[in-house]
Every structure is written in C-alpha cells, then in structure tokens.
C-alpha cells in the first residue's frame, strides 16, 4: 500500500470516526435538519469507499464521487449546529470530500 493511499484512507477514517461521535452525541437531541441522519449516510459511504480502495475495485472513482457528495451534504447540516462535535464532524467531512474529489480525478 502506497503512502498516498494510506493518507487518503486516514482522512476518510477520520471522517467516519467523527461522524460516529457526532451521531452518538446527537442521540436523543432535537435537530432541525438532517443531522444526525446525514452522519449515518456518511459513515456508510466512507466505510464502503475504504473497502473498495483496499480491494482495488475498478469503481473507486465512482464511489469516491458519491462519498464526496454525501460528505458535503453532512458537513452542510452539521455545521449549522453549535455543538463542538458537530463542528468537528463538519470539518472532517469537508476534508474527506476534498480528498474524495482528488481520488475521483
């Protein structure tokens, strides 16, 4: 595995982890938007992309594009909240989306 691939996976894993934390912290809290539902989507997308990247799938670019779109959607919703975990989640989602765009290029 190349260092570039490891770096990409680390960025995606950070997003996945921060989304899990956000989802857990939002459990039982009222939300006026799609947070925490967006975190569930993002966790799934990141998980699948990592699996496809590590198995050298021919569809990595397509999965990366979808993951980028979902990460942007999640960031948009999480950053509307003042909770620290939501802000951190949004930052990780933006970084992941940017990395996914690079993967898809």
pLDDT, tens digit, 9 for 90 and up, residues 41-75? 999 999 999 999 999 999 999 999 999 999 999 99
Domain holding 91, by residue range, is: 3-104
State how far the Cα of 29 lies from the Cα of 92, in Å rounded to an integer: 21
**Which among 28, 20, 39, 27 is positioned nearest to 78, based on CA atoms?**
39
Q: What is the DSSP letter of 33?
A: S
pTM above 0.85? yes
**Which CATH number fits the domain that encloses residue 17?**
1.20.1270.360
Domain count for the chain: 1
């Amino acid at each position: 595995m190349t260092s570039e691939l490891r770096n990409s996976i680390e960025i995606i894993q950070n997003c996945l982890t921060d989304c899990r934390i956000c989802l857990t912290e939002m459990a039982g809290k009222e939300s006026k938007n799609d947070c925490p539902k967006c975190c569930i989507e993002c966790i799934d997308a990141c998980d699948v992309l990592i699996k496809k990247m590590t198995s050298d799938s021919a569809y990595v670019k397509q999965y990366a594009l979808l993951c980028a779109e979902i990460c942007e959607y999640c960031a948009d919703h999480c950053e509307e909240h003042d909770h620290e975990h939501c802000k951190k989640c949004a930052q990780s989602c933006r970084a992941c989306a940017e990395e996914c765009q690079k993967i898809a290029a």
